[in-house]
Amino acid sequence: MTPMKLDDLASLPTVVSVTTAARALGLSRGFAYELVRRNEFPCRVIRIGGCYRVPTADLLSVLGAERFGQGR
């Protein structure tokens, strides 16, 4: 999976999939879901029905993107 660049993060919606968050963090999809199951994902994960979503603000915070003017 190709890691995301900082410029890619600016266009993310309010919540993203675990797969997108994993890509931003440089994790494989499988390992990301393993961390979700163990409740060890590095940022908050919200379960909506059968789907998991990661708040973009939390993801940006974990990445330290506010320091680069990408966070709010």
Letter for the amino acid at 10?
A: A
Mean pLDDT of 51-65: 91
- Please, what are the domains in the chain? 6-65 (1.10.10)
pLDDT at 70 over 50: no
pLDDT digits (tens, 9 = 90+) for 3-51: 777 777 667 788 999 999 999 999 999 999 999 999 999 999 999 999 9
pLDDT at 72 over 50: no
End-to-end CA distance of the chain: 27
Q: What does the pLDDT read at residue 42? A: 96
pLDDT at 71 over 70: no
Separation of alpha carbons 61 and 71, rounded Å: 7
